[in-house]
Structure 1
């Protein structure tokens, strides 16, 4: 039986599908959905093991292609042309979904896709992905010791800066700590993705590539590679923001997304 992703939906009009980051869920897009719903039909699915979607059901290591397969029914339901918006892991999934069916993509918005395999393919370790590798190892060790909160602290502080986890309200900490059970599979999917950098030179859809000035070396290294490869890409960096900009500062990020969609996926 095929697995079905839980999906939030709002609005009417041209379709926009929003894919969330790791340690998050479709709820991260609530403000963007409200911003776009007057003009667009916005769909935001939960990935495997996130929100209300099922856990990954196999002993086989998950791939980004498996994540694309999970949302494929939603993409078909959305119809063409559609726009894809992705953040972090979700942006990596969005890129692969666009490669699979570029003819149905009107526009692509990416906030720091975490395709770390591209870094390793360009230069074997040690390299700019060492920080995320070390973080995953620390989080995994904490999980093995029965401490998911410590696992989450390593992960969140890597992406958001030292002390970020301890400053987070407890109500937000609990679901993130629970999600850490997936940290090894997230890392495997992102570090083992076989798609070559050259494949992205064929993706001739308009792309808005969003960056946080204060993000990690790994996120910036992926950006350097993809920005040089995507044929129709526009780069926008947010001063003072980090990797979690869509969550910590949704207003400027969402306005940039809305402006790009108005140009490349306009309401008829």
Structure 2
């Protein structure tokens, strides 16, 4: 397949940092962090497939996390080596797979709640801690099949942000989110079928800031339980009052922790 180029935001000069965003979001979620890091780092924030200004996934084949890594490979190359990776949710899962693909070029990682749900299914066959997101995806799929993007977005957003979150989302923000949630089955397939075994992450012998919003979901907490015990140099930071979307809902709180971590590793 011809190499496509993602849209990427860039700011600053210095050692490279690449930031990958969550589902139903885009690179714009990292604007505040980019401003914070730009005086000391060269920061890149790409849009993933079908997000922001990046191209659509061009294949009939169901996407994998490795495909997401391949899209941002030109960005990783521009960031130079060794670089730091910052990721949130799906983007944090992509960052982990990118690091394993070429661990020698990554010096540190800052991750907010990676969603590598395949690790939960490998540990314990369903039903397990991933049932909530599995059901949300199934219900969103039913809504999409009925032509109701709004209801699909409600299923997805309310799972991650709490009941009623979609209803309280400003009307002007809803259309791009609802459009992106049409890819919910694809996201779930990539996360639930990722073949990397848990033990493989022991190879990432680099400083890892693992951030947890205590108000997140059982699925995200379950992945954290597994990964935080496997990464050799993990630093766990728990935000008492934040949920899974902490980097979006409370960017200043999260970004300051990331900036301090990157400044000292």
Give the TM-score of the pair, scaled to structure 2.
Answer: 0.99
Q: Which residue of 2 aligns with 1:51?
A: 52
Secondary structure of residue in 2 paired with 1:215: coil
Q: Which residue of 2 aligns with 1:175?
A: 176
Matched residues in 1 for 2:204 and 2:17: separation? 18
**Match status 1:90 vs 2:64:** no
Shift, 1:177, TM fit? 0.2
**Match status 1:113 vs 2:114:** yes
Matched residues in 2 for 1:74 and 1:57: separation? 19
1:78-134 per-position Cα deviation (integer Å, ceiling 9, x unaligned): 101110000000000000101111111111000000000000000000100000000
Q: Which residue of 1 aligns with 2:132?
A: 131
Secondary structure of residue in 1 paired with 2:186: helix
Matched residues in 2 for 1:129 and 1:239: separation? 22
**Match status 1:233 vs 2:251:** no
Q: Which residue of 1 aligns with 2:217?
A: 216
Matched residues in 2 for 1:141 and 1:110: separation? 31
Shift, 1:232, TM fit? 0.5
Q: Which residue of 2 aligns with 1:69?
A: 70
Query: Which runs of structure 1 show a deviation greater than 2 angstroms over 4 or more consecutive aligned residues?
Result: none
Matched residues in 1 for 2:5 and 2:110: separation? 24
Secondary structure of residue in 2 paired with 1:9: strand
Q: Which residue of 2 aligns with 1:153?
A: 154
Matched residues in 2 for 1:181 and 1:159: separation? 16
Shift, 1:229, TM fit? 0.4
Matched residues in 2 for 1:134 and 1:200: separation? 28
Give the aligned length.
264
Unaligned ranges ≥5, structure 2: none
Q: Which residue of 2 aligns with 1:253?
A: 254
Matched residues in 2 for 1:23 and 1:188: separation? 16
Q: Which residue of 1 aligns with 2:6?
A: 5
Matched residues in 1 for 2:17 and 2:238: separation? 22
Give the TM-score of the pair, scaled to structure 1.
Answer: 0.98
Secondary structure of residue in 1 paired with 2:17: strand
Shift, 1:38, TM fit? 1.3
Matched residues in 1 for 2:62 and 2:249: separation? 31
Unaligned ranges ≥5, structure 1: none
**Match status 1:202 vs 2:203:** yes
